[in-house]
A and B are shown apart, each in its own frame.
Chain A
């Protein structure tokens, strides 16, 4: 009988002791998760043949618009977009590379700035381009993007010959900075 009383007393103590230390579920409003995702982007290797037309005249050229598919569901959490471009140029000529975003009707809606300037005879060069938060909306409205590669004129008037073995390497990736917050 003593044991029974002990058990009943223990249960009563446990019952009255049972409680919860303070918690605040509203803290969830302050919760943020910052995650960064890398996506490989375009790359190319440009040779003399690519810069000359059939008459061996230097040309400015565009890549045919590339379709993009961006999921709008993540837009509200995307905080920042940073493109990283690595170039290496053995031509003795400078290049400008312009990345233009186009809408579904193939009309330009945004040019990523700054324009990438590649110096003549330059070793591996890293350029980062940040798309600020205020301009991210435009990215999500894009249906296509296009590359415009412009060969800048030489200082001495020389031109690239078809036998030139120089190359321009262009590599890139994008880093998406997400900041997930509760609503």
Chain B
């Protein structure tokens, strides 16, 4: 039981979406190129500590927190469960993302162009749960004439390796643009989408009640792993699949930075404009139809007995058609969009303290927008941020984000540079540090790089 409780807690703790609001355009870190290939970086070359240059864990559940259920406050747990069910929105979602950079590097090609490349492994999972499904589980179907909609009941999970190569080009003093090509090697792709329809119990004509499945539509697609054959799965299986042995795909990232006034900059990016072509271990199912039943209409004709149960099953199979589809399919990556505008101010940087660091000012304040767009779920987050360059060794950024998880997500990050060694750490939902169980989402990102500037 304690194990279940712990897993339950972890599900809440590993939380927040794919938004890397603290990392975006922060401190000239090489990893900012992964969220905006058109970001400005000023190093001559860098390489990340293999497997440790970026470890990112994000996720969350918009519905409720572990504290909402398990608070030791003398209230009966069943009353607390009832309260969170009552507060459940029209639909909520649970999301977990994990990203580990295996290799990462970059070098300045010339005055205008910076090349970066690497490989990272990524896992993400998202399930969207409509309120009606929760009501069906929590209360049952005994509310007569209420359609319980399954629309928006959808899920996706993917595990893949990403090889990437990008270039950031300084077009002129005001414009910087970049692009990154990505080769995806997918070990696992599962999605259920296009779910529609409803279940209902209504007043019947011949019997007391009639039970209905109305316009049910459901598509389940999977590749990489055969759902009914998981005996041979092992870490090495997934590793092989993520190193070009899996289903392959292609994508690009695009981004820009534009300094439209001396102290004002606008930037934006589109990450993972891409797809995976799923051809290996593909299993897909579609379900579609309508079904109505009032029960068994008893037949008193001894000479013509009915096989009620099998007749019902046969009619169900005819009217709600389950198709097995073995054809290849294309899955699109969840697209991430960033946009930001910032204003730099404060003490102008001098050559002594900042030497080759970018910009002329020590402070940066701004506004960022993030959106993820996918076939399963899309959402928007807005962030206010303040970034300060204390000196060439230490930079920090504080963010305040409004997203589907919280209206008060305070994040912070710092980056230090000791010689060529760069260490950075970022986290959010810091307002919940006084009670980590109350957090609906969390986002931790850290890494170690070796960055070399001109004057080292």
Residue positions of A touching B, CB distance < 8 A: 1, 3-4, 7, 14, 17-33, 35-46, 50, 61, 63-64, 66-69, 84, 86, 147, 149, 170-173, 175, 178, 182-183
Contacts and interface: CB of A to CB of B under 8 A. Distances in A.
Contacts of B233: none
Contact of B295 (A42, A67, A149): A42
B433 A38 contact: no
A112 to B, nearest CB: 16
Contacts of A46: 300
A23 B72 contact: yes
B132 to A, nearest CB: 14
A17 B207 contact: no
Given A66-B309, A84-B208, A14 B67 contact: no
Interface of B: 1-2, 4-6, 8-9, 66-67, 69-73, 76-78, 81, 136-142, 144, 201, 204, 206-211, 293-300, 302, 305-310, 388, 390-391, 394, 396, 414, 430, 433-438
Contacts of A61: 300, 302
A40 B1 contact: no
B207 A43 contact: yes
Contacts of B138: 33, 35
Closest 4 CB pairs of A and B: A25-B5, A40-B295, A35-B140, A18-B433
Nearest to A170: B298
Contacts of A178: 140
Which of A7, A19, A45, A69 is packed against the most chain B CB atoms within 10 Å?
Answer: A7
B2 to A, nearest CB: 6
A46 B306 CA distance: 16
Nearest to A126: B208
B395 to A, nearest CB: 11
B72 A40 contact: no
A97 to B, nearest CB: 11
B78 A21 contact: no
A17 B8 CA distance: 24
B298 A147 contact: yes
A11 to B, nearest CB: 8
A161 to B, nearest CB: 18
B309 A43 contact: no
Nearest to A182: B1
B85 to A, nearest CB: 9
A183 B298 contact: no
A37 to B, nearest CB: 5
27 contacts: A1-B390, A19-B436, A20-B435, A22-B72, A23-B70, A30-B77, A31-B77, A33-B138, A35-B138, A37-B142, A40-B207, A40-B209, A42-B295, A42-B296, A43-B294, A43-B296, A43-B298, A61-B300, A61-B302, A63-B300, A66-B308, A67-B309, A67-B310, A170-B298, A171-B206, A172-B295, A173-B208
A39 B307 contact: no
B5 A35 contact: no
Given A21-B437, A25-B9, A50-B300, A67 B308 contact: yes
Contact of A4 (B6, B76, B394): B394
Nearest to B135: A35
Name which of A23, A36, A66, A86 has the most chain B CB atoms within 10 A of its CB: A23
Contacts of A69: 309
A175 B72 contact: no
Contacts of B8: 25, 28
Contact of B298 (A4, A28, A44): A44
A67 B437 contact: no
A169 to B, nearest CB: 9
Given A3-B388, A3-B390, A14-B430, A27 B300 contact: no
B139 A26 contact: no
B435 A36 contact: no
Contacts of A24: 70, 72
Given A37-B142, A66-B309, A173-B207, A28 B1 contact: yes
Contacts of B396: 7
Contacts of A173: 207-209, 295
